[in-house]
């Protein structure tokens, strides 16, 4: 059950991100100046007199400019049009009554569309960073575990040192000493690199423990005696043994990175404004008064919660408690359940 629910959440998120250009009724920059912080437009099928129609929405009319309060104009129905202008669904009259399934933000942009496009950046960034951590951590851990001795000591001391540090502050310090205003593409690469560095030690410690253990097993000794070189032995025989550990670790890193991006963007160190990521969207909710009155501005937080929940539900399968930096003893249990029972 948990597995089905978890994978459903993740599949929905990935499909939403991948299909954003088609699924989103608007582009990320589309502004409706008359609809700042407007409430969601719910699709209806029954009108006030009880007649059935094809799905339609009621347009908003501004009641109070100061409080940004809107009322539905129940006299006009604006029908929804399907598969028009390359989009799955949209309003028939975009200028007067745009379809805003999750309301508008403080610039009058559609929150739902930005949520879908934001998923692309937030998910892609965290997955790229997790893969970076995997490469770096796998390499460091593999070399440390295989070579041993002084190099092992040095690499593991360094890893332990980074693990002890509060990851958020390390990312914050590294990000803020770089130029503050950058192109979105540069920000993406830099953040992915920073997160990869912060996440790598969690992987390298476990990989090192596994490689060290595997190295002494018969199959590795046999491969070595048959003439496998160091690189081949490490890449073909020893590192694959750490595969399931790495998968588990990545499912823990991805949510951490999603949240880290959101935190950095929230304090203004993430992507520059017109770009939509879940963090930059949350920045719009940084004023308490605003988001108490306009709760739909918190929808990126809800999206983050659902994605993290989905990953945690999948983690239930492995029996590992999703805690960053749990001791490598757990790592060995994941990779070799058979060894544990002996």
Partner 1 sequence: MLIYIARRAAFAVFLVFAVSSAALVLARLAPGDYVTTSLGIDARRETIEQARARYGLNRSIGEQYRDWVIRAARLDFGQSLIYDRPVADLIPERAANTAVLALTALLAATLVGLPLGVITGSRPGGVVPLAIRATSLILLSMPPLLTSLFLVFVAARTGWLPVGGMSAAGSAGGASLDLLRHLVVPAAALAMPLAAMFERLQAQAMSDVVGQPYVLATLARGVPRSRVVWRDALKAALRPVAALYGLVVGTLLSGSFAVEVITAWPGLGRLMLDALLARDVYLVAGCAAAGSLFLAAGTLMSDAALALVDPSTSE
Q: Is there binding between residue 8 and partner 1 (CB under 8 A)?
A: no
- Rg of the chain over CA atoms, in angstroms? 25
Q: Is there binding between residue 263 and partner 1 (CB under 8 A)?
A: yes
Residue 207: count of CB within 10 angstroms of its CB: 30
Among the listed ranges 32-40, 60-68, 139-147, 285-293, the one in contact with partner 1 (CB under 8 A) is 285-293
- Chosen residue from 139, 158, 235, 301 binding partner 1 by CB under 8 A: 301
The closest alpha carbon to 304, from 125, 37, 42, 90, belongs to: 125
Closest to partner 1 by CB, 18 vs 301, is: 301
Least distance between partner 1 and beta carbon 337 (Å): 14
Among the listed ranges 34-42, 145-153, 213-221, 298-306, the one in contact with partner 1 (CB under 8 A) is 298-306
Q: Is there binding between residue 164 and partner 1 (CB under 8 A)?
A: yes
Least distance between partner 1 and beta carbon 94 (Å): 31
- Beta strand 52-57 pairing with 87-91: unpaired
- Chosen residue from 1, 226, 288, 338 binding partner 1 by CB under 8 A: 288
Among the listed ranges 13-21, 61-69, 83-91, 295-303, the one in contact with partner 1 (CB under 8 A) is 295-303
Least distance between partner 1 and beta carbon 168 (Å): 4
Q: Is there binding between residue 245 and partner 1 (CB under 8 A)?
A: no
Closest to partner 1 by CB, 288 vs 338, is: 288
Least distance between partner 1 and beta carbon 309 (Å): 4
- Chosen residue from 139, 147, 172, 189 binding partner 1 by CB under 8 A: 172
Q: Is there binding between residue 163 and partner 1 (CB under 8 A)?
A: yes
Residues 178-197 that bind partner 1 (CB under 8 A): 178-180
Question: Which three-class secondary structure string do you get for the chain?
Answer: CHHHHHHHHHHHHHHHHHCHHHHCCCCCCCCCHHHCCCCCCCCEEECCCCCEEEEEECCEEEEECCCCEEEECCCCCEEEEEEECCEEEEECCCCCCCCCCCCECCCCCEHHHHHHHHHHHHHHHHHHHHHHHHHHHHHHHHHHHHHCHHHHHHHHHHHHHHHHCCHHHHHHHHHHCCCCCCCHHHHHHHHHHHHHHHHHHHHHHHHHHHHHHHHCCHHHHHHHHCCCCHHHHHHHHHHHHHHHHHHHHHHHHHHHHHHHHHHHHHCCCCCCCCCCCHHHHHHCCCCHHHHHHCHHHHHHHHHHHHHHHHHHHHHHHHCCCCCCCCCHHHHHHHHCHHHHHC
Least distance between partner 1 and beta carbon 283 (Å): 11
Q: 52 burial class (0-12, 13-18, 19+ CB within 10 angstroms)?
A: exposed
Residues 113-142 that bind partner 1 (CB under 8 A): none
Among the listed ranges 32-40, 189-197, 236-244, 303-311, the one in contact with partner 1 (CB under 8 A) is 303-311
- Chosen residue from 229, 319, 337, 339 binding partner 1 by CB under 8 A: 319
Closest to partner 1 by CB, 174 vs 190, is: 174
Closest to partner 1 by CB, 82 vs 161, is: 161
Closest to partner 1 by CB, 14 vs 182, is: 182
Q: Is there binding between residue 259 and partner 1 (CB under 8 A)?
A: yes
Interacting residues toward partner 1 by CB under 8 A = 161, 163-169, 172-174, 176-180, 255-256, 259, 262-263, 266-267, 282, 285-286, 288-289, 291-292, 295, 298, 301, 304-305, 308-309, 311-313, 316, 319, 321-327
């Amino acid at each position: 059950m948990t597995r089905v629910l978890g994978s459903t959440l993740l599949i929905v998120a990935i499909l939403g991100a991948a299909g954003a250009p088609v699924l989103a009724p608007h582009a990320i920059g589309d502004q409706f100046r008359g609809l700042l912080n407007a409430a969601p437009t719910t699709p209806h099928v029954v009108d006030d007199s009880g007649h059935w129609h094809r799905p339609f929405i009621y347009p908003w009319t501004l009641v109070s400019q100061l409080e940004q309060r809107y009322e539905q104009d129940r006299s006009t129905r604006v029908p929804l049009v399907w598969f028009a202008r390359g989009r799955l669904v949209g309003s028939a009259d975009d200028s007067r009554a745009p379809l805003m399934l999750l309301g508008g933000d403080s610039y009058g942009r559609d929150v739902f569309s930005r949520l879908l496009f934001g998923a692309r950046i937030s998910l892609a960034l965290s997955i790229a960073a997790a893969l970076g951590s995997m490469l770096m951590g796998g390499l460091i851990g593999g070399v440390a575990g295989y070579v041993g001795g002084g190099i092992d000591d040095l690499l593991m001391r360094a890893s332990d040192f980074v693990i002890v540090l509060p990851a958020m502050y390390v990312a914050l310090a590294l990000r803020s000493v770089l130029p503050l205003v950058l192109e979105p593409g540069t920000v993406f690469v830099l953040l992915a690199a920073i997160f990869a560095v912060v996440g790598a030690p969690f992987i390298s410690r476990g990989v090192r423990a596994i490689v060290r253990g595997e190295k002494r097993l018969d199959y590795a000794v046999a491969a070595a005696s048959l003439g496998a070189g160091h690189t081949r032995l490490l890449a073909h025989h020893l590192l694959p043994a750490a595969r399931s550990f790495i998968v588990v670790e990545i499912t823990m890193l991805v949510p951490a990175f999603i949240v880290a991006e959101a935190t950095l963007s929230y304090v203004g160190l993430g992507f520059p404004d017109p770009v939509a990521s879940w963090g930059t969207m949350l920045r719009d909710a940084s004023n308490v008064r605003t988001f108490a009155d306009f709760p739909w501005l918190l929808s990126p937080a809800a999206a983050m919660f659902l994605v993290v929940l989905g990953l945690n539900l999948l983690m239930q399968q492995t029996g590992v408690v999703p805690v960053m930096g749990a001791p490598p003893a757990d790592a060995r249990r994941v990779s070799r359940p058979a060894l544990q029972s002996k």
